[in-house]
Structure 1
């Protein structure tokens, strides 16, 4: 999961039942160029090991997330760093974490928001909350 990103809001064509991975990859590359404003040649050069919709059955009217496994961490980070381009749009980019890490991060978010409201600099890195540059013990 280290090289995976999850992108939400990318339109899905499930009129034939399930969108083929090749179609999903084509839509993803277009999304990277148009919405994230990455250079066309950089997007074309990215090696993607796997691109697929989140594992569930397609539902009319709902768009499943796209899970992308990048061959190179550098490419993944280039895409991840462009997330501010999506501010105010229906799209989003997330890192993929194992379920136990997701649960730990979910518990840390309220503490992070509280610290930010208090005027402190706070962020979560993997499964650790940092406030004013110091890790906070659980």
Structure 2
């Protein structure tokens, strides 16, 4: 799975003019399932994200995790994280999981994040969404479960 994490002071998702998800301080998590991913992959990614020390401690150092700060997560599906830009100028998306498998893995990932005690909001899988955020830092981290 691939994820792009953005530390935020606030973030929201709107679909067809209706706000479907909103958080205060925490992480905006854009997530993409890949064809080789499994529920175990989703669980490992959720664990990693919950424990990453991306938040400032009392001394101003990034030393605290999302779980430690009580921050929230806004999880948004984003198949474009699987873009193949190696040929030409139009990206291909064949590296993304098929929609049914991707939805199941996305939903499993969201449940695992919630099971870790993190307040979680979501976008709407497969919808045309507008995402608004106030990036804090900015801190933006790319995670790929296939990367070393």
TM > 0.5 between the two? no
Larger strand percent = 2
Asked which structure has the greater RCO (Cα within 8 Å, sep 6+), the reply is 2
TM-score by length of 1: 0.27
TM-score by length of 2: 0.26
> Greater Rg, structure 1 or structure 2?
1
